[in-house]
Structure 1
Amino acid sequence: MSRPQPQKRATVHDIAAAAGVSRGTVSRVLNGGYVSAEARAAIEAAITEVGYVPNNAARALKMRRSQAVAFVTLEPHSLFLDDPNIGSIMLGANAALSLADHQMVSLVVESSRDTERVARYLSGGFVDGAIVVSARTQDPIIKVISDLSLPAAFVGHPPELDRTIPFVGIDNVGSARAITEHLLTGGRRRIGMIAAALDRDSGIDRLAGFRAALGPLFDEEMVADVPHYDYGSGVKGMRELLERDRSVDGVFAASDAIAAGALEALREAGRSVPGDVGVVGFDDSTWAVRCQPQLTTVHQPAKEIGSCAAQLVLRQLRGEHPDPGGQLLPTPLVLRDSA
């Protein structure tokens, strides 16, 4: 049995022949130029008749634009799927790009091999710009973006990154200080922190806010350093804190997923929440309302952050020059039952 042949794509020549006009007249209609009403009607009827679909790839090549923006996540693949905060940032970015008729291309960087592959992709002209999430200092992907002068925006603001690239984020120091002060106001005095991602600005800043809130009560031994903002890190970090000091009565978890893991470890240890230990998280993600008890946390406007980052890239593509400084969005506390 012979394999069916693919249908031939209709061209401008086919439209011109069906409408009885020249190729130039068809091109003027397709590119928004002026032709008579009679010619336009004939060409529009011919487009329907021959089933013409614009070749956007060819048009992008001619305009040297791909109409695509990369969403680059510098996180492990498992965290990319497990962290609802990253997902919400992505959805916010995608919604803004879609309204501007741009496609979002998701690129996850976990290994050095990923870094090389993504660097080649960005250098190949496949995207017009990039939104970068979870950037670390001296990351080679950041150097590629800077060297290409690729329109870009950071989610977050590591201090050593290219200051000519705008960013959008939150006040992690102030937010962490406020949520820790809430534990202090509730009478907690032996407060620990499960601190994650201390190789990037969000983790460093949340630890700084925790330290500032505690002042003379701060004890380095009451900080459990874990690698990622995930559930497993919360279980591990809480077990470490309990091993170091069974009298811990308050815990600031650097994300809601970490807080959920901490609750599990506390249940294992026979400690009640909030009776024996007050637990607070960060993000106000779906983890916060799935937990029992539900989490007191910091609301991070993830979708708005993604949307703002996309808008910063789109402005650059329109030839505008956004402030190289940053845009910080508000992060109110959300009080629930865990503290």
Structure 2
Amino acid sequence: MPLSRPPSRRATIHDVAAAAGISRGTVSRVLNGGYVSPQARAAIAAAIAQVGYAPNTAARNLVTQRSQAVGFVVLEPHTLFLEDPNIGAIMLGANATLSDADYQMVNLVVDSERDTQRVSRYLSGGFVDGVIIVSARTHDPIIRVLAQLAVPTTYVGHPRDLPAGIPFVGIDNTGSAKLITQRLMATGRRRIGMIAAAVDRDSGADRVIGFRQALGSRFAPELVVEVPLYDYSWGVKGMRTLLDREPNIDGVFAGSDALAAGALEALRDAGRQVPADVGVVGFDDSSWALRTQPHLSTVRQPATEVGACAADLVLRRLRGDDVDRNGVLLPTPIVWRESA
């Protein structure tokens, strides 16, 4: 019968000190970011590699009362989390900033009331030091939970009922939607409709407001089709509804590039040419914009920069720095291509 191997012992700070021939206190200063001579730092680095030392994060967290982690909470269906390139870009931008600060990012997806309860319990357990919230809706229960916990939080977007003084980062959805609709109008389109998604959130509702402001007296409520998600399939359905309501429609503003891509499919199925018969514009300048034929005219949403800024705001709050409590809005230039 083979002998069982004894469990391997985890290398400790004492092993590093012994291998480097340096005091334990000096090793501790290096590990905690303190100053030592270049020679001592080099000897400690070599000793760490030699003995295979890894810091005991759990023990350090017990002392510092910090988890060294930030929650990234997405309040969207699981399928949209995987398919929406904006959410992915926001996530990567946040992760890069947190990683540079030696923080872990914990991804949490809320797709149901049960998810809300589960995530609320998790956030209440002290497993993260701060939170980034993406796609919160008005009256979302997660807003109340985080307000009660007093966890440093930054929102991507600005729910209508967000408590005063909570930092957020986003874009001017109203102004951007107004500008691209005006640009579409300038091409001579007379009957312009909109496929509007997620109007229970500030992004969707504000884009409808901007669209309406651009059209003024030409705005026709029946030419706004509301769909639940910024999703390709809903773009197809929304465009079919618009064609049913107004067969002579000649311009469409879709609330996202994914919706616009779906609208292009519905228009092709109906025998309408883009842009000869119908001009189509989207929103985001995501990967969808260049996957379509023709390529989409759109508004560039700086999703990666939004994520990085949100993470930076959380980190600054954790350091006790002052942050802008009035919100940070990033620029959104129009990108004009062949679809309009």
Distance in 1 (alpha carbons) for counterparts of 2:38 and 2:245: 82
Letter in 2 for 1:306: G
Once the 2 structures are TM-superposed, how far is the Cα of residue 207 of structure 1 from its aligned partner? 0.2
Which residue of structure 1 aligns with residue 266 of structure 2?
A: 265
Identity %: 69
Distance 1:5 1:249, change over 3 A: farther
Answer yes or no: is 1:186 the counterpart of 2:187.
yes
The corresponding residue for 1:237 is 238
1:148-204 deviation line (CA, Å, top 9, x unaligned): 111111111122112221111111001001111111111111110000001100000
Q: Are 1:176 and 2:169 counterparts?
A: no
Distance 1:70 1:301 in 2: 21
Indicate how the Cα distance of structure 1 residues 330 and 32 shifts in structure 2: closer, same or farther if over 3 A, else same. closer
SS of structure 2 residue aligned to 1:173 = helix
5 Å matches for 1:53-68?
53-68=54-69
Change over 3 Å in CA distance of 1:222–1:55 after alignment to 2: same
Measured after TM superposition, the shift of residue 39 of structure 1 is: 8.3
Q: What's 1:256 paired with?
A: 257
Aligned to 1:159: 160
What are the ranges of 5 or more consecutive residues in structure 2 without an aligned counterpart?
none
Report what 2:334 is aligned to: 333
Shift of 1:34: 7.5
Matches of 2:243 and 2:334, distance apart in 1: 26
Residue 95 of structure 2 is matched in structure 1 by: 94
Q: Deviations 1:191-220 (Å, cap 9, x if unpaired)? A: 100000011000000000001111111111
Measure the CA separation in 2 of the matches of 1:26 and 1:84. Answer: 44
Superposition pairs of residues 1-339 of structure 1, within 5 angstroms: 5-15=6-16, 27=28, 30-31=31-32, 47-339=48-340
Residue by residue, what CA displacement relative to the aligned partner does 1:57-116 show, whole Å, maximum 9, x if unpaired? 211221011111111110001111111011111111111111111111111111111111
How far has the Cα of 1:33 moved from its partner?
5.9
The structure-2 alpha-carbon separation of the partners of 1:19 and 1:279, relative to structure 1 and needing over 3 Å to count, comes to closer
* Aligned length in residues: 339
Instruction: Specify whether residues 20 and 141 from structure 1 end up closer, same or farther in structure 2 by C-alpha distance, changes over 3 A only.
Output: same
C-alpha spacing 1:245/1:5, structure 2 compared with 1 (3 Å): farther
TM-score by length of 1: 0.93
Distance 1:19 1:105 in 2: 35
Q: Structure 1 counterpart of 2:315, which letter?
A: L
The CA deviation string for residues 124-168 of structure 1, in whole angstroms up to 9 with x for no partner, is 111110111101122121112111111111111122112221111
Q: 1:332 to 1:32 in 2, by over 3 A?
A: closer
Amino acid at match of 2:203: S
> Which range is displaced more, 329-338 or 3-12?
3-12
Amino acid at match of 2:267: L
Alpha carbons of 1:52 and 1:193: their partners in 2 closer, same or farther (altered >3 Å)?
same
Q: Distance in 1 between matches of 2:40 and 2:279?
A: 74
Deviations 1:231-271 (A, max 9, x none): 01100000000111101110000000000000000011111
Quote the Cα distance in structure 2 between the aligned partners of 1:91 and 1:43: 33
2:239 corresponds to which letter in structure 1?
Answer: M
* Partners of 2:284 and 2:37 in 1: CA distance: 58
Structure 2 residue matching 1:271: 3-state secondary structure: coil
**Measured at CA, do residues 262 and 14 of structure 1 come closer, stay the same or move farther in structure 2, by a change above 3 Å?**
same
Displacement of 1:35 in angstroms is 8.0
Q: 1:185 to 1:62 in 2, by over 3 A?
A: same
* Cα 1:215/1:44, change in 2 over 3 Å: closer
Give the alignment's TM-score, normalised by structure 2: 0.93
Give the letter aligned to residue 7 of structure 1.
S
Gaps of 5+ in 1: none
Mapped to 1, the partners of 2:26 and 2:221 lie a distance apart of 75
| Greater Cα offset, 153-162 or 273-282 | 153-162
- Go from structure 1 to structure 2 and tell me whether the alpha carbon gap of 1:17 and 1:334 turns closer, same or farther (over 3 Å shift): closer
Over the aligned positions, Cα root-mean-square deviation in angstroms equals 2.2
Deviation larger for 194-203 or 32-41: 32-41
Letter in 1 for 2:51: V
Residue 37 and residue 93 in structure 1: after superposition, are their counterparts in 2 closer, same or farther (change >3 A)?
closer
- Equivalent residue letter for 2:247: R
